[in-house]
Chains A and B, each alone.
Chain A
Amino acid sequence: MRLTKTLATALLGMTMLTGVSFAATPADTLVIADAIDDVITLDPGEVGEVGGIMAAKQIYQPLVTFDVKDPTQIFGVLAKSWEVSEDGTVFTFTMNPDAKFASGNPVTAFDVEYSLRRVVAMASRSAFLLTQFEISSDNVEERIKAIDESTFVFTIGQPYAESFVLYALSSYVGGIVDSVLVKEHEVDGDWGNAWLKQGNSAGSGPFELTRWEPKQSILLSANPNFWQETPGVERVFFQHVPESAAQRLLLEKGDIDIANKLGPDDHASISANADVKTLDGSSGVIYYMGLNVRNEALSNPDFVKAMKYLVDYDGIAQTIGQGTIDVHQTLVPAGFLGASDYTPYSLDIEKAKELIAASGVSTPVTLDAVVWNVPPYTDFAQAVQATMAQVGVNLNLLVVDGQQWLERYRAADLDVWVGLWGPDYPDPHSNAKAFAVNAEDAPDGSQSLADRFGWDAGDLSPRAMAALRENDTEARRTMYEEIQVEHTDTSPFLYMFQEVRRVAIRSNVEGLVLGLTLSDDRYWNVTKD
């Protein structure tokens, strides 16, 4: 009996352990729960991961930026004004004399020169945003050049739509660093990369880096020398909470202010809580299936078209998406210039059967579909597998880890890829280049999605490049609209959905601006009352 008693006491003691807990985040700190173990650098010259870009965007400012609500409104940040030469290749920026870095140093054209040249020199994953303008280490000294402290000249290889060039400069690699400070920390010609990568920052933005604990947290503090309107909070704290349900509990409890990675189920279950609200934004992310035309069946246009009728778009959006995706069947995301609501396809088994009969492809056909092993990809793939099987198109789902999923697609070692595309800047070209331009038409000759899936885009490729060079916005819009209709009908890309970026926040949080592309959220106007 004594033993039983001891055991009972011990168990009771264990459950009685209680702790102190605070029901609110500090009033001057914005706490954001996110999965940030993807971050491998905070150097604006090489960031590429969502979490890294998100943090770098709060620290570094570009020459120009755009209004998230209306991306056609482009305005200067570090640049006060700019002019474009007659032939459209020379962009001359006049610097804003008020701008200064967190160090107190003024922001000059030489800082811009240094920052953009280092992007080209470091040749990181994100350098393509600049090198696509035919800028390389051979010509960088003429093409990226400061004339004097207040004048910066950016010269591109051939004329493009002005807005396209400005969008590229507004992206994360366009973040300007304090060249005086960074040069002091250069080691062996590394452009200060080792110093900027981890524990330090040298920007002019509303926040500066206080501490980054890899795979744990990122702490930003208000820049005391900020030259524009003081941010609404003193600190921004990104906490690594990978699990959606844990984020939800933290948010409802008031231990975090923003939950960035809530799944549809958790969104549904917080809807009744008055202390929490949701904010919808666009990520520009498009979910699609890429069909490898090197496969014999998939090289047949009728067969490809049949497959487009074999997806239950509305059903998936309702049951799986639950408000986190919208049906979208063209290459330009909604919200961008030239976006179109062309949605010709819906689940139609009979129509698909006719098309397959017309194609001459004999069923059953088995296709290897490579799927990333996380939702929503697995859910999409299973739903599509079920409807396609009804007409003898059997998807052999290869559910793999994220890295392998990317590698199989890079190597074109698959028949079907269940994937996504997220634009790098809010210009239709970011997507048009990926889906509709072949390498021989691309200025830098780089491989696009079209090339990876073995597809010759025909005249769509030069037409997409022509749209890129069109400076009349209305004419440009029309060109993209026309390209999209033809592309949706003829390409081996089976567009399905656009992501609705839904973020859950505490109701006392005001002023959060969600970006138009992933990781462009703007935290500096946020206030907590």
Chain B
Amino acid sequence: MALSATDNVHRLGRVASWLATVAVTLLGLVALTFFIGRVIPIDPVLSIVGEKATQEAYDKVYFALGLDKPIWEQFTTYTLKLLQGDFGTSFTTTRPVLSDLLTFFPATLELATIGLFIGIVLGVPAGVASAYWHDKWPDHLIRIIGLIGYSVPIFWLGLVGLYVFYFKLDWVSGPGQIDVFYVGIVKPITNSILIDSALRGEWEVFWNAVSHITLPAALIGYFSLAYISRMTRSLMLDQLTQEYVLTARLKGANEFEVVLGHALRNAAIPLVTIIALSYGGLLEGSVLIETVFGWPGIGSYIASSLFRGDINAVLGGTFLVGAIFVFLNQLSDVLYATLDPRTR
């Protein structure tokens, strides 16, 4: 009895210390973003009133934004509101930041998730193949494909992709999330067009949305394929030279068993963290891809808000991205435990 009580106390302590770490991380993030937002040379008042406004119009907005108060007071007010779940209002969209995030984030989530899926499904096998046929032609081929994905600007790839697959071949739809034809047909549930149209049974809209997301998702997929295959390759190379692999081979295990059953099993542990963090990176949104494809994602939301000095929007967006990283980090720890019996 006594033993299990101590156990519980330990477990509680672990949870508490984890929660404290998360809280400090997020608070630090908010503080940093807030103060950076205040020192960057962008005047939010000017971006609201424009350069022709009178001093009266300028002052009115200046006071309405609370910029006359000391910066510490502004920060405390913001943080206290944040703790109550109030992210404030974005002046560039006129809406509460929270509802903005709920509108823009699903678009990025769709893109990043499909992109990452493509990246894993193709990137891991490619990396394994590359390591297995180390320095032979499949390795060279995969590395060249990866290198292109890595080094060619995604902006340019996006435009070329549009030109070839949309304009010339007509395989996919063009920029935007959906054809004008279908705008407003599906009543939002999750704000993700793919999910909502499927839930509502609007299959025509669903397939249209699929044909719009295919190209940008494939490009993001290509980009993450390049990264994942490269990391898989080097992790696998490491494993394949280990003695246990040799032992397995000597014992007569077939190659399939050796490569996938032993080496990949071990390489998978660090790979999980790499994939989780790269998912986090994708969920920040790719401003370039979003710009080329007119995609209403979180990346261009944060960027365009930043250029207008819309600090509430930037803070809300940064907070969300930070929270995602914390969550993914935790998730990869859990997956670690499942994959590696020693950490259980």
- In contact, A213 and B42 (Cβ under 8 angstroms): no
Q: How many residue pairs bridge A and B at CB < 8 Å?
A: 182
Stretch of A16-24, A179-187, A346-354, A480-488 lying at the B interface: A16-24
Collect the chain A residues with CB atoms within 8 Å of residue B261's CB.
none
Bound-state CA distance A217–B180 (Å) is 10
Check if B180 sits within 8 Å of A239, measured CB to CB. yes
Q: Is the CB of A409 within 8 A of B57?
A: no
B309 within 8 A of A: yes
B126: which A residues are within 8 A, CB to CB? 7
Residue interface bits B182-201, CB-to-A below 8 A is 1, else 0? 01100000000000000000
- Does residue A85 face the partner (Cβ distance < 8 Å to B)? no
Task: State whether the Cβ of A48 lies closer than 8 Å to any Cβ in chain B.
Answer: yes
Report the separation of the CA atoms of residues A479 and B54 in the bound assembly, to the nearest whole angstrom: 28
Given the known interface contacts A3-B125, A4-B138, A19-B207, the answer about A214 and B93 at a Cβ–Cβ threshold of 8 Å is: yes
Shortest beta-carbon distance from B97 to chain A in Å: 12
Name the B residues within 8 Å of A318 (CB-CB).
none
Partner of B166, one of A26, A29, A237, A253: A253
* Interface residues of chain B: helix, strand, loop or mixed (majority): helix
Question: Which residues of A sit under 8 angstroms from B279, Cβ to Cβ?
Answer: none
Instruction: Report the bound CA distance from A20 to B175 in whole Å.
Output: 14
Interface size range on B against A: 35 or more
What's the minimum C-beta distance from B187 to chain A, rounded to whole angstroms?
A: 12
Specify which of A125, A213, A242, A253 is in contact with B294 (CB 8 Å cutoff).
A242
The residue among B162, B204, B294, B296 with the most chain A CB atoms within 10 A of its own CB is B294
Interface string of A236-259 (1 = CB under 8 A from B): 010111110110011011010000
What residue in chain B is nearest A216 (Cβ atoms)? B296
Q: Is the CB of B171 within 8 A of A19?
A: yes
Q: Which residues of B contact A21 (CB under 8 A)?
A: 166, 170, 172-174, 179, 211
Bound-state CA distance A128–B53 (Å) is 7
CB of A4 within 8 A of CB of B49, answer: no
B161 to chain A, nearest CB (A): 11
Spot the interface stretch: B28-36, B299-307, B317-325.
B299-307
Say yes or no for B210: interface residue by CB 8 A criterion. yes
A274 within 8 A of B: no
Mark each residue of chain A from 119 to 138: 1 if its CB lies under 8 Å from any CB of chain B, else 0.
00001110110010000000
Asked if A215 meets B42 with Cβ closer than 8 Å, knowing A19-B212, A20-B208, the reply is no
B57 touches A41 (CB 8 A): no
Q: Of the candidates B52, B100, B176, which one forms a contact with A125 in the assembled complex, judged by CB atoms under 8 Å apart? A: B52
Q: Is B237 part of the contact surface with A, judged by Cβ < 8 Å? A: no
Is the pair B300, A19 in contact by a Cβ cutoff of 8 Å? no
The answer to whether A6 has its CB under 8 Å from any CB of chain B is: yes
- Asked if A198 and B291 make an inter-chain contact with CB atoms under 8 angstroms apart, the answer reads no
Contact of A40 among B53, B91, B210, B221 (CB under 8 A): B91
Report the Cα distance A402→B57, complex, angstroms: 20
Assess A255 versus B162: contact at CB under 8 Å? Given A20-B207, A243-B292: no
**Chain A neighbourhood of B243, CB < 8 A:** none
- Chain B residues near A40 (CB, 8 Å)? 48, 91-94
A-chain residues with CB within 8 Å of residue B129 when the two chains form the complex: 3-4, 7
Say whether A252 contacts B167, CB under 8 Å.
yes
B41 at the interface (CB under 8 A from A): yes
User: CB distance B47 to A403 under 8 Å?
Assistant: yes
Using Cβ atoms and an 8 Å threshold, which residues of chain B touch A213? 103, 296
- Complex Cα spacing A446 to B125, Å: 68
Q: How far is the CA of A289 from the CA of B163 in the complex (A)?
A: 38
- Find chain B residues with CB under 8 A from A424 CB: 52
**CB atoms of B308 and A403 under 8 A apart:** yes
A214 touches B95 (CB 8 A): yes
**Does A401 sit within 8 A of B, measured CB to CB?**
yes
Q: What's the nearest-Cβ distance from chain A to residue B171, in Å?
A: 5
A208-223 residues with Cβ-Cβ distance < 8 A to B are 210-211, 213-217, 219
Q: Within the complex, what minimum Cβ distance (angstroms) separates B52 from chain A? A: 7
CB distance from A225 to the nearest CB of B (A): 22
Whether a CB of chain A sits under 8 angstroms from the CB of B293 is yes
B118 at the interface (CB under 8 A from A): yes
Contacting residue for A409 out of B51, B92, B308, CB 8 A: B51
Q: Report the bound CA distance from A198 to B266 in whole Å.
A: 55
Task: Give Cα A26 to B179, complex, Å.
Answer: 10
| Residues in A neighbouring B92, C-beta threshold 8 A | 37, 40, 214-215
Within the complex, the shortest CB–CB distance from B235 to chain A, in Å, comes to: 16
A22 — which chain B residues lie within 8 A by C-beta?
179, 181
Q: Which residues of B contact A402 (CB under 8 A)?
A: 307
> Smallest CB–CB gap between B141 and chain A, Å?
9
Do A406 and B95 have beta carbons less than 8 Å apart? no
The answer, yes or no, to whether A31 is at the interface (CB within 8 Å) is yes
B contact residues around A29 at 8 Å (CB): 180
CB 8 Å contact bits of B92-130 with A (1 = contact, 0 = none): 111100001001100000000000001001100110110
Supply 18 A–B pairs (Cβ within 8 Å), ascending by A: A4-B129, A19-B208, A19-B210, A21-B172, A21-B174, A40-B94, A125-B53, A215-B104, A215-B296, A217-B183, A241-B176, A249-B163, A249-B175, A255-B173, A403-B308, A404-B41, A407-B41, A407-B46
A contacts, CB < 8 Å to B: 2-4, 6-7, 10-11, 14, 17-22, 25-26, 29, 31, 37, 40-41, 48-49, 123-125, 127-128, 131, 197-198, 210-211, 213-217, 219, 237, 239-243, 245-246, 249-250, 252-253, 255, 401-404, 406-407, 409-410, 424, 444, 446
Please name the 3 residue pairs, one residue from A and one from B, whose CB atoms are nearest each other, closest first: A19-B211, A214-B93, A125-B53
- A sample of 11 more A-B contacts (CB under 8 A), given A22-B181, A123-B56, is A26-B180, A48-B49, A125-B49, A125-B50, A125-B57, A215-B300, A217-B183, A243-B159, A246-B159, A249-B166, A250-B175
